[in-house]
Every structure is written in C-alpha cells, then in structure tokens.
Amino acid sequence: MRTVCALFLAASLLFFPAATAAPGRAPEGETLTTGKGKSAREFILYRPANASGPVPVVMVFHGGGGGDDWMANKSRELTRTLTGAGYAVAYMNGSARRDGEKLRTWNAVHCCSYAAKKNINEAAYADAVLDVLDQRLGIDRSRIFLTGHSNGAMLSYRLAGQMKIAPRAIAPISGAIFADQPAIPARTSVFMYHAKNDEVLSFDGNPDDKAERWRTAPHVGFVKAEAKLAELKSCGPASPVTTPIGLTTTTRTCPGGSVLIATAADTGGHEWPARPQADYRIEDALLAFFNSKR
C-alpha cells in the first residue's frame, strides 16, 4: 500500500497542479534576528495567510553568494504559494566575512568559501530560528521542512541529521551530496531535483564545472547520489516515471514512513526557481510534496 501511495505522489508532482495562494499582492516579510553580538544572524519570516493551530514551517536556504533578502526576492511565487497554503516561510541567511555583506555562503563541509572555512555551526542557527518562530507563531515541530538551492541544497542534505528536531522532509534543488554524506533520519523524506544541463553543479558529478574552485571535494553525480541516499535510508526499489516534457521521477518507499523522490530534468540549467518547462512550476511540486507529509 505504501508503494502505491508513493507512486501516486510521484505522479502528482509531475502532472497535477497543486493548490496555490490566491492571486494578489505578495505577503510582507518581517526581518528577525537570533543570537547576540558576533553570533547574531537574521532571517526573514513570511507568516501564513491563514493559521489555525500549530503552524508548519518551510526554511529556505539561498545559494552560495546570495542572502536572505536576495532569495526572498527571487522566490515571491514560492512565498505566495506556501503562505497561501498555511505554511510559515523563513528565508535563512548564510555567513560572510564582514557584517552586512551580501555574498553569503553555507557550511556544507566541503563547500562553500567563508562558511566552510570557518566551520560555521549551521544546525545551531537553524535550531535557534525554530525557537524564535515557536515563540512568535506556535509552530508544528512535527512538520518542519527544508529546501534550498545549490549551496543551500547541499546544506539541507547535511542539516537533516544535525538539527535537534529532524525535519519531516527536505527538498534540495540543484544541489549535491559528497562521498561522506551522513545518515538522514528515518522519518525524513527527500525530494531532490537536478537538471541534466546544469553547468554549475554538473548532473554527472564532473570535476570541471564552474563551482569546483569553491569545493574541497568532488560532489557525487545525481544518479549516484540518489542511490547513495537510498542505501543510507534503506529504501526499497526504484519506480521511475517519465513525462513527455522531459522530466523523469524516481520514487522509493523507505522505513519510517518516508519516501525518496528524485526528479531529473533534461533542461533548466542551474537556475532558481527551477523552470525546465513552461508548464512545470517547482513551487507546485514543493507544495504537493510538503502537503503529502501530514
């Protein structure tokens, strides 16, 4: 039965549009801070349009060289979609050498730049943000979700097993794992996405892509990464589904009620938001995935 449900979910991510927020103005963000002094870090909170009871949270991690405000600006459709469906959205902020600097990175161990070199404790930051959100909103700690792009996607793979409360699911977009990828909790589902023509973090894990200079180890290609995660999570056999628009999704059921879903696109490059085809919206795919994790 679980296998049938997982296959239905995979099909819904490919074919059926998810419920999105009603058209209108984007919600207003609120900049908050956690920590004090040199350890202080900000994030931007978007409250759900309608909240009844504990609020599920989506934490969004920007790519290397970005920042919370840059990511929030690029992700207005994602914010509208998620807040309209009852989620709080927190745009997280990486680290930089100087206060106020916009070019920020995350410590995904083998990438990237300042944050990795300084071994920044990203799990402590994420835990502290959840504490702040709980005080302000009353969050549903059983429904914490992580998503990120590029360096932020790399981080989400790592954070899953490092936070005080394991996330219900992670959704790394155009990211990568490394050979020493740690275990992911049994309860944590994974939705991973990558374009085959990505020239920044290559689909096959080639060592000559544009991001190589920011890493201290080669990343694992997407297909091998999916197999590695399936091994770490002791998942079942893969069930691939291919669509006419050039998307292939592989789904596995795993112990703990979790699933591993990997979507490969023929086109789309390394862009955010991912747009391999005009009729594919990453926002709807993420909402459908998160909504399935009740």
Gap between the Cα atoms of 3 and 24, Å rounded: 38
Q: How confident is the model at residue 232 (pLDDT cuts 50, 70, 90)?
A: very high
Q: How confident is the model at residue 1 (pLDDT cuts 50, 70, 90)?
A: very low
Gap between the Cα atoms of 111 and 193, Å rounded: 19
Q: How confident is the model at residue 101 (pLDDT cuts 50, 70, 90)?
A: confident
DSSP string for residues in 150-217: THHHHHHHHHTTTSSS--SEEEEES----TTPPP--TT-EEEEEEETT-SSS-TT--TTSTTGGG-SS
Percent helix, strand, coil in the chain, to 5, is 30, 25, 45
Gap between the Cα atoms of 91 and 62, Å rounded: 8
Mean pLDDT value across residues 260-268: 96
DSSP string for residues in 41-100: EEEEEE--SS--SSEEEEEEEPPTTB-HHHHHHHTHHHHHHHHHTT-EEEEE--B-SSTT
Q: Residue 159 sits in which domain range?
A: 2-291
Mean pLDDT value across residues 64-69: 95
Of residues 246 and 130, which shows the higher confidence score?
A: 130
Number of domains in the chain: 1
- Which pLDDT does position 237 carry in this prediction? 97
Q: How confident is the model at residue 278 (pLDDT cuts 50, 70, 90)?
A: confident
The answer to whether 151 and 106 are in contact (CB under 8 A) is yes
Mean pLDDT value across residues 195-208: 91
Q: In this model, does residue 9 exceed pLDDT 50?
A: no
Q: Residue 106 burial by CB count (10 A; 0-12/13-18/19+): exposed, middle or buried? A: buried
Gap between the Cα atoms of 33 and 128, Å rounded: 10
Among residues 35, 212, 59, 242, the alpha carbon closest in space to that of 128 is found at 35
Q: How confident is the model at residue 187 (pLDDT cuts 50, 70, 90)?
A: very high
- Least confident window among 20-34, 62-76, 260-274: 20-34
Q: In this model, does residue 240 exceed pLDDT 80?
A: yes
The answer to whether 254 and 238 are in contact (CB under 8 A) is no
- Which pLDDT does position 26 carry in this prediction? 63
What is the tens place of the pLDDT at every residue in 123-149? 999 999 999 999 999 999 999 999 999
- Which pLDDT does position 98 carry in this prediction? 81
The answer to whether 5 and 284 are in contact (CB under 8 A) is no
% of the chain exceeding 90 in pLDDT: 77
The answer to whether 58 and 89 are in contact (CB under 8 A) is yes
Of residues 277 and 259, which shows the higher confidence score?
A: 259
- pTM score > 0.85 for this model? yes
Q: In this model, does residue 103 exceed pLDDT 60?
A: yes
Q: In this model, does residue 23 exceed pLDDT 60?
A: no
**CATH assignment at residue 18:** 3.40.50.1820
Q: How confident is the model at residue 216 (pLDDT cuts 50, 70, 90)?
A: confident
Mean pLDDT value across residues 279-289: 95
Supply 79's token pair.
Answer: 């914010």
Gap between the Cα atoms of 197 and 202, Å rounded: 7
Q: Do strands 247-253 and 259-265 pair parallel, antiparallel, or not at all (unpaired)? A: antiparallel
Mean pLDDT value across residues 250-263: 97
What is the average pLDDT score of the chain?
Answer: 90
Residues near 204 by beta carbon (within 8 Å), at least 6 away in sequence:
221, 222, 223
